[in-house]
Amino acid sequence: MTETVQLALDEIKPLCEKVLRHNGYGEAHVSAIAHMLYTCQLDDCQSHGLFRLLMCIDTMRNGKIDGNAEPVIAPSSNAIVKADACNAMSLLAVEKALPELINKARQHGIAALAINNCYHFSALWPEVERLASEGLAAMAMVPSHSWVAPAGGKRGSLGTNPIAFSWPRPGQNPFTFDFATSAFARGEIELYRRAGKPLPDGVAVDRDGKPTTDPQAAMDGAMLTFGGYKGSALSIMVELLAGPLIDDLTSLESMEHAAGLGGAPYHGEVILAFDLAQFNGARMEENDARAERLFSDIIDQGARLPSQRRYAARARNLERGYVEVSKQLHDDILKFLE
């Protein structure tokens, strides 16, 4: 069993802030990043919680990121908000631009936010859930690095390319999903490699494009998309909407930009927001009831809605007042304060 440490909820942000500050992030970025790490850790989202501090520090040590850049939101009269992160982490730009996206969605009925020139390490669900908390439906997409082969291919062209979606539900947690269009997350393959375990079938190909269950061969070769040619098509859509649509890098270009260094990939992000009342002719109650009936029909047959486990973890952690993280991770994080 992994040895864990308990962190009180009110210790999480100060710890993150201290580490980020100590490693070159300016106050505004420290605050935005720490808030994201706290949000994910609170939900037991181990892959995107405190663990990502390591990636934030790596990214800073690579020397390309600007730890102090102020994002620039371009004024516009259409339904598109363009936020230039100016070579910094994405989160401060998102934080500054979301109120404007919300305004635009309420004004036009549908609106989009393009974040450009950002390093990106974070889960997408906190951003779409933030919009759902304002009563908007939302969808978000980002590319990453070209580790993933298209259906029928044998080498990486696509990123892990997550899609997140959130739909507001009055009086309860929203319907939310956030998943990679790759069959596995990159980090999962690394975990299998460390554990010396074979991968499941259908997750990766080796450098000759042959199916493999060997984690090292997979890392030297390419990952596959989920759901065969359909997942591959969706992944290409993510490349297009979060890349050329918003004048930012594809996963191929992002990989080149990194030039073999680790840390967070550098690319754009796109978020769409939908104002429910304008779409449904202000028939909110009838349509909330319609959505609730669908959710009930799913739950009543023993199926789970996406994120149910995460919401349960959040409730439990809020109740008990602490989260658990691996001692190893905690030790690694403390070293960044030396």
CB of 12 to a copy of itself, least distance (A): 28
User: Residue 36 and residue 118: Cα distance in Å, rounded?
Assistant: 15
Name the region of 258 (left: φ>0; alpha: ψ -120 to 50; beta: rest). alpha
Task: Please list the alpha-helical segments (H only) found in the chain.
Answer: 9-22, 27-42, 52-61, 90-108, 125-132, 186-195, 215-220, 228-241, 251-258, 276-279, 284-299, 308-320, 327-335
CB of 248 to a copy of itself, least distance (A): 9
CB of 331 to a copy of itself, least distance (A): 34
Do residues 325 and 196 make contact, with C-beta atoms less than 8 angstroms apart? no
Q: Which is nearer to a copy of itself, 25 or 184 (CB)?
A: 184
CB of 206 to a copy of itself, least distance (A): 14
User: Residue 231 and residue 129: Cα distance in Å, rounded?
Assistant: 24
CB of 30 to a copy of itself, least distance (A): 30
CB of 52 to a copy of itself, least distance (A): 22
Q: Residue 208 to residues 149, 154, 183, 192, 203: CA-CA distances in angstroms?
A: 12, 7, 19, 21, 15
Q: Which is nearer to a copy of itself, 5 or 233 (CB)?
A: 233
User: 4 - beta bridge partners?
Assistant: 326
Instruction: Give me the numbers of helices (H) and strands (E) for the chain, helices first please.
Output: 13, 13
User: Residue 205 and residue 83: Cα distance in Å, rounded?
Assistant: 37
Do residues 12 and 50 make contact, with C-beta atoms less than 8 angstroms apart? yes
Q: Which is nearer to a copy of itself, 90 or 307 (CB)?
A: 307
Q: Which is nearer to a copy of itself, 46 or 287 (CB)?
A: 287
Q: Which is nearer to a copy of itself, 89 or 273 (CB)?
A: 273
Q: Which is nearer to a copy of itself, 260 or 281 (CB)?
A: 281
The catalytic residue positions are 47-48, 188
Do residues 181 and 160 make contact, with C-beta atoms less than 8 angstroms apart? yes
- The number of residues making up the chain comes to 338
Look at residues 20, 86, 28 and name the one whose alpha carbon lies nearest to residue 53: 20
CB of 205 to a copy of itself, least distance (A): 11
- For tokens 């600007």, the residue is 66
Q: Which is nearer to a copy of itself, 122 or 250 (CB)?
A: 250
